Amino acid sequence: MERLDKILSEYSRYSRREASELIRRGRVLADGVPVRDAAAKFDPETVRLTVDGTALVIRKQHTLMLNKPAGYVSATDDPREKTVLELVREEDRYPELFPAGRLDKDTTGLLILTSDGDLCHRIISPKKEIWKTYETDVQGLLTKADADAVRAGIRLQSGEQFLPGELTVLEAGEVSRAELKIREGKFHQVKRMMAALGKPVLHLRRTAVGGLRLDPLLAPGEYRTLTEQDIDRIFLG
Ligand code: URA
């Protein structure tokens, strides 16, 4: 037996919070009866749920957090390259599991893989403006002027404009290290931003998506399932 809000969020596209709200508003019927108590327990195998009169198709979604190593492309299959899916054990390769966004082949760090198309959309949609945090080593001395330029929103010579981001210089020298937060996911965005500042990227690692940080216990190439709290955290960042 499991809590109604847990069943609803685990087996549907609703987050735990959205599920609780739907239940509280009496929009969820369990076996034909409105249930307003999110903690009420049911058997997920047998309960028939409707939301606003529509039967819920019970389908467990799977979402993983991968510490992507360099050398893998963010795709489900590729004729030439190794893909991030190859890092997922056969028993965890759920149907429709795909990367929620892309990291370049040489970029490392946090990549979310999900079978939940709705969740994927909420993570990558430009409208949602989910912040992504990167750590980067660049060639050249990063200065406050670079941080100011990122905060103002970098405009490329081509006219392309990036939204304002946040650059925190961690180490300044011939090679500098910085944390960079951006809320878009354009092609090679960090590399193009840093190149525009004249500081080409040497290494790039994603450390967070929204409020969800890469689990420090995951070695490169390792992954784990995301809990509902982890998923909620993405949207709190
Ligand atoms: N920006 C890039 O340039 N590359 C990535 O992989 C991610 C963000």
> What average pLDDT is seen over the chain?
94
Q: Within this chain, do residues 205 and 140 fall inside the same structural domain, yes or no?
A: yes
Report the separation in Å between the CA atom of 172 and the middle of ligand 1, taken as the mean of its atom positions.
21
CB 188 near ligand 1, within 6 Å? yes
Among the listed residues 70, 62, 60, 71, the one whose alpha carbon sits nearest the alpha carbon of residue 100: 62
CB 223 within 8 A of CB 64: yes
The CATH number of the domain where 172 resides is what?
3.30.70.1560
Contacts of 195 (CB under 8 A, 6+ apart): 201
Give the per-residue pLDDT at 136.
98
Name the residue range of residue 50's domain. Answer: 2-55
% pLDDT > 90, the chain: 79
pLDDT digits (tens, 9 = 90+) for 24-57: 999 999 999 999 999 999 988 788 899 999 888 7
Q: Within this chain, do residues 219 and 197 fall inside the same structural domain, yes or no?
A: no
CB 74 near ligand 1, within 6 Å? no
The mean pLDDT value for 217-237 works out to: 93
pLDDT of 58 strictly over 90: no
pTM over 0.85? The answer is: no
Kindly calculate the radius of gyration of the chain based on its CA atoms and give it in whole angstroms: 21
Of the listed 78, 92, 104, 230, which one is catalytic?
Answer: 104
Angle among Cα 73, 79, 81 to the nearest 5 degrees reads 30
Q: Within this chain, do residues 116 and 10 fall inside the same structural domain, yes or no?
A: no
pLDDT digits (tens, 9 = 90+) for 87-122: 999 988 887 899 999 999 999 999 999 999 989 999
pLDDT of 128 strictly over 70: yes
Going from the C-alpha of 159 to that of each of 102, 154, 162, 192, the distances in angstroms are: 24, 10, 10, 13
Higher pLDDT, 227 or 81: 81
pLDDT of 61 strictly over 90: no
Report the separation in Å between the CA atom of 62 and the middle of ligand 1, taken as the mean of its atom positions.
25
**DSSP H helical ranges for 62-127:** 117-124
CB 204 near ligand 1, within 6 Å? yes
Higher pLDDT, 85 or 56: 85
209 three-state secondary structure: strand
CB 183 near ligand 1, within 6 Å? no
Report the number of distinct structural domains present in the chain: 3
- Per the annotation, the verdict on 52 as an active-site residue is no
pLDDT digits (tens, 9 = 90+) for 170-189: 999 999 999 999 999 999 99
Going from the C-alpha of 24 to that of each of 18, 32, 49, 160, the distances in angstroms are: 10, 16, 15, 46
Residue nearest to atom 7 of ligand 1 (CA): 103
pLDDT of 15 strictly over 90: no
pLDDT of 199 strictly over 90: yes
Q: Within this chain, do residues 135 and 205 fall inside the same structural domain, yes or no?
A: yes
